[in-house]
Structure 1
């Protein structure tokens, strides 16, 4: 009678050890948890005066989550207009799972840093209706330029989505990050390293 009881207890202990070990292994690998989408109000609240927001950045905030047609010519024009500010450009699409994963981190950081840093989106190879739904679900306090034929993506040389480009205040492309950000902190670090101090 005692032997089956000991075997059962031993098997149960082994299962507990395996579950704890697997959970710790996942934490050690730094597996990221997806963020939670912020509402329009939550995103815009830190960007409200006072203190005043520079007019060119306030103009971006006024176009929050809008999709702007024009592809590469409009993208280049926007970058020229934003000279004098570091610029962070996030390339995304509604059909891209990793893009949706990182958008809450983009929301958080663009809301925090949008008084000094210009943010832009590029909606790549997307269906406009689906893109509008995604932009409404993950409100961005900046517009996204439509890139239906992936000309902007080709110009930047990205291999896939998502991707994030970092421009210095003088308009130099300093760094292109391929893949999704797994935390807001990692995005903040790259903004400081490449856009602000690049």
Structure 2
């Protein structure tokens, strides 16, 4: 008799426990990072030239940006990398890369100092969405972010290093590629001045 009663009670108790857990999950639990709004800016503006774009500086033109289409972290239409209008500073990074994390705040400050003369763009590569979102939230990164789930962007550039930064002129030509390690504010300003002809204050 007791055994029969236990057999009948166990499913009922499990049902009650399941309902309680579901109610707690839907009513009181904080949203996961994947459910939160993206910290990054929308990519729709990338195909428009910066408001006060500076013409390409004199000197030999570099290679064009690769023929590649990447998704935007915020969703929406994919972006053809060649359609990104310069001048631009493009930073390739991943959340698991310590030098990338170290330099990201400097790129955010650079985007704030651009004053409409150039744009700062991120390419999050070989990373998880949760990892990238976490870094964006923790470090206050707000510039537009493209997503390369594999390493197509780096392969198109014949590069295999993190972090990687491209300096692209107003004609969409790569004037310089930097793979020297974590960049700080002063070094970034020097590279922008040298390769894009723009003074950053």
Q: Distance in 2 between matches of 1:95 and 1:86?
A: 28
State the match for 1:164 in structure 2: 165
- Structure 2 segments unaligned to the other structure (5+ residues): 1-40, 42-47, 52-71
Secondary structure, in 3 states, of the residue corresponding to 2:79?
Answer: helix
Structure 2 CA distance for partners of 1:75 and 1:124, relative to 1, 3 Å: farther
Structure 2 CA distance for partners of 1:194 and 1:103, relative to 1, 3 Å: same
State the match for 2:58 in structure 1: none
- Structure 1 segments unaligned to the other structure (5+ residues): 1-43, 45-54, 59-65
Assess if the C-alpha contact under 8 Å between 1:92 and 1:161 holds in 2: yes
The aligned runs of 1:46-85 (5 Å cut-off) are 57=50, 67-68=73-74, 74-79=79-84, 82=85, 85=86
State the match for 2:103 in structure 1: 102
State the match for 1:16 in structure 2: none
- Give how far 1:183 is off: 2.0
State the match for 1:31 in structure 2: none
State the match for 1:117 in structure 2: 118
- Give how far 1:118 is off: 1.1
Higher helix share: 1
Assess if the C-alpha contact under 8 Å between 2:120 and 2:143 holds in 1: yes
Q: Which runs of 4+ in 1 moved over 4 A?
A: 55-58
Assess if the C-alpha contact under 8 Å between 2:87 and 2:169 holds in 1: yes
Q: Which has the larger radius of gyration?
A: 2
- Give how far 1:151 is off: 0.5
Assess if the C-alpha contact under 8 Å between 1:122 and 1:144 holds in 2: yes
Structure 2 CA distance for partners of 1:56 and 1:172, relative to 1, 3 Å: closer
Q: Deviations over 1:136-165 (max 9, x none)?
A: 122233211100111011112222100100
Q: Distance in 1 between matches of 2:75 and 2:126?
A: 12
Q: Distance in 2 between matches of 1:131 and 1:95?
A: 9
Secondary structure, in 3 states, of the residue corresponding to 2:104?
Answer: helix
Q: Distance in 1 between matches of 2:91 and 2:146?
A: 10
Secondary structure, in 3 states, of the residue corresponding to 1:187?
Answer: helix
Length-normalised TM-score, structure 2: 0.58
